Amino acid sequence: MRNRSVLAALSLAAALVASVPAPASAATGSPAPAGGGTAGTAAGSAHCPQLSKKLEWHGHNRAALQRVIDERGRCGHHTKGGHEPRPVAAFDWDNTITKNDTTDVTLAWALHHDKILQPRRWGDTSEWLTPAAEGALTEACGKAVPAGRPLPTSTDDDCTDEIFEIRTEAQTMDGRPAFGGKWNHRRTVPEYAWVAQLFAGHTPAEVKQYAEAGRKKSLAAPIGSEMKVGTHTMPAYVRYYEQQKDLISTLQRAGFDVYIVSAGVEYAAEAWSKGVGIDAEHTIAIRSILRDGRITTRNEGCGGAPASRGETIPYIDGKRCWVNQDIYGVKGRAAWKQQDREHRIAVGGGDADTDVTFVRDATGAHLVLNRNKNEVMCRAYDNEDGRWLPNPMFIEPLPQKPEPYPCSTSAYNSENGDLTPVHRYDGSTVPDQKDRVFG
């Protein structure tokens, strides 16, 4: 495993002197900007790198983010002694930094160009693949192609459809569950892990090449355009959010270490993250075990968990684990636990329940793009510490969710898969929340 732990691992030592949370806005639950609507202190705003005022943010969100930059960055606490470690910001990737899912774009490009290799048996690709799914894949993709050779998915819609339906819906084309058995629902989800497993037999460089090709094509596609994958329809375009590019650049110029923490395939995520100035060492995603330089169906574990076929990936609590382990150097089971403020990120950003744990761990700002995901939006609207910043998607934002989020009954994803109430740190239940920040 690459050693991503940095002495910036003590990176919030400087950020320990957290400001008192600003009063929440009655309309959005977001912190109101300090200084009567200006971002940060007068001293900070004079020489701190500034977020662009030409890019639109919801409500006071830009001001709140600027205040964290002012307080935690090079013009705030962390460089005053000259040697303090750098504060850290961490963001999810798909639908947080980009509009649309780059993992699906990579898989779609691979399917369009016959890059998925025939496995010896489909059941080898995931320990949770059901007999129904294995049978459906075997029937749709056939046995004529030898193991290790490319499947003709560019022309075989039946094979492509089964693969893509299982990836996106966790079911076969005839509606039967594709995955069964037991797994920790806050550490993995089989259909996410399965994408990395589908690239078994390829080299990391090959997968990065496929991601690059998909990236080029999707960035050139018009906003709103669609494409076919088999008989499925999916967005053909991806865009980097200009606001997020600006935020990342501003954080970096202010002295922050900025990381991506994704539940996608690491080699594909690395191809995309460089587009916002984040290198491979700062990109964390599903990291496959290699054999003779080629991807296998196994991935590295976290927090003392061994390598496995997808039992621990950067997913919900798994994202916290990888942040703690790879950024802060926390070893063993402790990596699954929330750390003290010196060993937590200053800024976290996400868009889905996948991201809720590490975004909640942030000590300065919790940025959430609203995609109507229950648990993370319950946290965002409840605004427990006054630092949650819900924001509509910057491109094609969703309209208001008509019904409240079921925070008091079924918005929390339990380890066993049950949906239960969302609780605050003090144990109280988060009440149902009306959708208040939308397009």
Decide if 31 contacts 386 (C-beta within 8 A). yes
Output the furthest CA–CA distance in the chain (Å, rounded): 70
Query: Residue 25 pLDDT more than 70?
Result: no
Instruction: Encode pLDDT of 247-285 as tens digits.
Output: 999 999 999 999 999 999 999 999 999 999 999 999 999
Return the pLDDT at 85.
80
Query: Residue 219 pLDDT more than 50?
Result: yes
Share of the chain above pLDDT 90, in %: 86
Q: How confident is the model at residue 129 (pLDDT cuts 50, 70, 90)?
A: very high
CA distance 269 to 195: 13
Q: Which of 26, 14, 71 is nearest to 44 (CA)?
A: 71
Q: How confident is the model at residue 75 (pLDDT cuts 50, 70, 90)?
A: confident
For the chain, how many residues are written?
Answer: 439
Return the pLDDT at 401.
98
Query: Residue 39 pLDDT more than 60?
Result: no
Tokens of 175: 């509606």
Provide the β-strand partners of residue 228.
233
Which comes out higher in pLDDT, residue 308 or 15?
308
Query: Residue 242 pLDDT more than 60?
Result: yes
CA distance 265 to 267: 6
Query: Residue 243 pLDDT more than 80?
Result: yes
Q: Name the DSSP letter for residue 327.
A: I
CATH code for the domain defined by 7-99+242-420: 3.40.50.1000
Instruction: Encode pLDDT of 197-208 as tens digits.
Output: 999 999 999 999
Span 133-159, average pLDDT: 98
Neighbouring residues of 157: CB distance < 8 A, sequence distance ≥ 6: 230, 231
Which comes out higher in pLDDT, residue 33 or 418?
418
- Sort 306 into a burial class: Cβ within 10 Å, 0-12 / 13-18 / 19+: exposed
Cα torsion 362, 366, 367, 371: sign? positive
Q: How confident is the model at residue 286 (pLDDT cuts 50, 70, 90)?
A: very high
Rounded to whole angstroms, what are the CA distances from 87 to 27, 78, 211, 285, 311?
A: 30, 8, 30, 21, 30
What are the residue ranges spanned by the domains of the chain? 7-99+242-420, 102-235
Instruction: Encode pLDDT of 347-398 as tens digits.
Output: 999 999 999 999 999 999 999 999 999 999 999 999 999 999 999 999 999 9
Query: Residue 35 pLDDT more than 90?
Result: no
- Sort 434 into a burial class: Cβ within 10 Å, 0-12 / 13-18 / 19+: exposed
Q: Residue 264 — φ and ψ, nearest 5°? A: -95, -170
Q: How confident is the model at residue 45 (pLDDT cuts 50, 70, 90)?
A: low
Query: Residue 224 pLDDT more than 80?
Result: yes
Q: Which of 262, 274, 269 is nearest to 354 (CA)?
A: 262
Return the pLDDT at 20.
32
Q: Which helix (H) or strand (E) holds 227?
A: strand 226-229
Decide if 396 contacts 95 (C-beta within 8 A). no
Strand 232-235 and strand 226-229: pairing? Answer: antiparallel
Decide if 353 contacts 316 (C-beta within 8 A). yes
Please, what is the average pLDDT of the chain? 91
Tokens of 370: 């609203």
Decide if 411 contacts 397 (C-beta within 8 A). no
Query: Residue 8 pLDDT more than 80?
Result: no
Q: What is the pTM of this model?
A: 0.90
Return the pLDDT at 19.
35
Share of the chain above pLDDT 70, in %: 87
Span 418-439, average pLDDT: 98
Query: Residue 27 pLDDT more than 90?
Result: no
Q: How confident is the model at residue 47 (pLDDT cuts 50, 70, 90)?
A: confident
Instruction: Encode pLDDT of 344-359 as tens digits.
Output: 999 999 999 999 999 9
Neighbouring residues of 388: CB distance < 8 A, sequence distance ≥ 6: 29, 30, 366, 368, 379, 380, 381, 382
Least confident stretch, 20-29, 82-91, 123-132:
20-29
CA distance 281 to 335: 19
